[in-house]
Copies of this chain bind each other. A is one copy, B any other.
Amino acid sequence: MTDRVLGVLGGMGPLASAEFMRQLTLLTPAERDQDHIPAILWSDPRVPDRTAARQGRGPDPLPALVRGIRGLEAAGCGAIAIACNTAHGWIDGMRAATHLPILHIVEAAAEALRLQGIGPGPVGVMGTAGTLAMGLYQQGLEGDGWAVSVPTEEEMARLVSPGIALVKANRVAESYAPLAEAARALAERGARAVVLGCTEIPLGIAAGPALPFPVVDTIEALALAAIRWASPDAARAAA
């Protein structure tokens, strides 16, 4: 049993947060309730849209993100996982507002690439327009030797952004076709793996046939990072 309590800043979107909690549970070696990791999920879907803010079309999400972090601090959490890739664009502001460690989803995705044996070379990254414009994955992965390719503007407008919106509107099954087409396009242009760098995308991709190339589910990757934080011994045993 661990006494480390994980704080999960979520609701962006709420289905991805629920899936994060599910993966956190299923990936933890456990025989009974009391073996699982205590966690508080702050699921606040009212956080202003991150991509709209990045594009100057909406309010700053930072105050709402910091409000969630303060709530998780008050609840006794020892670290924060943020179940939304785009929100990581405000991580400097969040880190300045808390003494708690924040597990970074791009570092978790890099670890997942390593565990899948994907060494330096071309990898594709799908994400929101905000995540891609901020270069979160380009900056986070290129220092380690991966060369990041992203969907074209046409693919973003026709496939990726609508696919993400379908998941947020609870139309998960319909999101598979556009999201899978965008992933296949990246693989056809040379990506050896595709990082599903928006927490809605793995939900859509799971709703249809498995893709014939490696993908990184950033919900699962962040859950594994949280398990390593909460119970280093258990994470070793599962590896």
Contact = CB atoms under 8 A, between A and B. Distances in A.
Contact of A32 (B33, B34, B169): B169
Contacts of A36: 11, 13-14, 43, 45
Interface in A9-24: 11-15, 17-19, 21-22, 24
This chain's copy number in the assembly: 2
A172 B41 CA distance: 23
A38 interface: yes
A40 B170 contact: no
A123 to B, nearest CB: 27
A41 B25 contact: no
Contact of A170 (B12, B25, B42): B25
Contacts of A165: 32
A37 interface: yes
A2 B11 CA distance: 14
A76 to B, nearest CB: 8
Interface residues of A, number: 43
Interface string A167-211: 011100000000000000000000000000000000000000000
Contacts of A22: 15, 18-19, 22
Contacts of A3: 46
Interface of A: 1, 3, 11-15, 17-19, 21-22, 24-26, 28, 30-47, 49, 71, 74-76, 165, 168-170
8 contacts: A11-B36, A11-B38, A11-B39, A13-B36, A15-B25, A18-B19, A18-B25, A34-B45
Sorted from nearest, which 8 A-B pairs have the closest CB atoms? A18-B21, A36-B45, A18-B22, A41-B41, A33-B45, A14-B25, A14-B36, A13-B33
